[in-house]
Amino acid sequence: MGTPQFPDLGKHCSVEDCKLIDFLPFTCDRCHLVYCLEHRSYIKHCCPKADKKDVTVVVCPLCAKGVRLIPDEDPNITWEMHVNTECDPSNYDKVTKKKKCPVPGCREVLTFSNTIKCRDCTIDHCLKHRFGADHKCPGPKKPGTSFPFMGILSRSKKETKTNQAPATSSSKWATSFLNAASTVRASAEASMTKLGSEISQKLQIARGGVGPSSSSGGSAEPAEECPQCGAKFSSVATLVDHVEKVHERNNRSRVFKMSIDVCPKCSKGFRDPVALVEHVERDHGGISKA
Q: Which of 271, 253, 255, 245 is nearest to 190 (CA)?
A: 255
Which of 62-71, 126-135, 271-280 is predicted most confidently? 126-135
In a domain, 228, yes or no: no
> Domains in the chain: how many in total?
3
Say what the pLDDT of residue 2 is. Answer: 58
Q: What is the DSSP letter of 216?
A: G
Is 145 a member of any domain?
no
206 within some domain: no
Q: Which of 139, 163, 197 is the last residue of a domain?
A: 139
Mean pLDDT confidence for 199-224: 56
Whether this prediction's pTM lies above 0.85 is answered by no
Give 196's pLDDT tier (boundaries 50, 70, 90).
Answer: confident
163 inside domain: no
User: In this predicted structure, what is the pLDDT of residue 74?
Assistant: 87
User: Based on the domain organization, do 14 and 48 belong to the same domain?
Assistant: yes
Q: How confident is the model at residue 13 (pLDDT cuts 50, 70, 90)?
A: very high
Residues 105 and 130 in one domain: yes
Mean pLDDT of 196-215: 61
pLDDT of res. 145 = 47
Give me the chain's average pLDDT, please.
75
Do 19 and 40 lie in one domain? The reply is: yes
pLDDT of residue 34: 93
- Does 120 fall in a domain? yes
Q: Which long-range contacts (CB under 8 A, 24 or more apart) does 213-216 make?
A: none
- For residue 259, the tally of other CB atoms under 10 A from its CB is 16
CB 65 within 8 A of CB 87: yes
pLDDT of residue 216: 42
Domain containing 39 equals 9-52
Please tell me the predicted confidence (pLDDT) of residue 33: 92
Strands 11-12 and 21-22: antiparallel
Alpha-carbon distance 224 to 286, whole Å?
53
> In the prediction, which pLDDT does 215 show?
42
Q: What is the mean pLDDT of residues 9-21?
A: 88
Q: How far is CA 132 from CA 67, 123, 135, in A?
A: 44, 11, 6
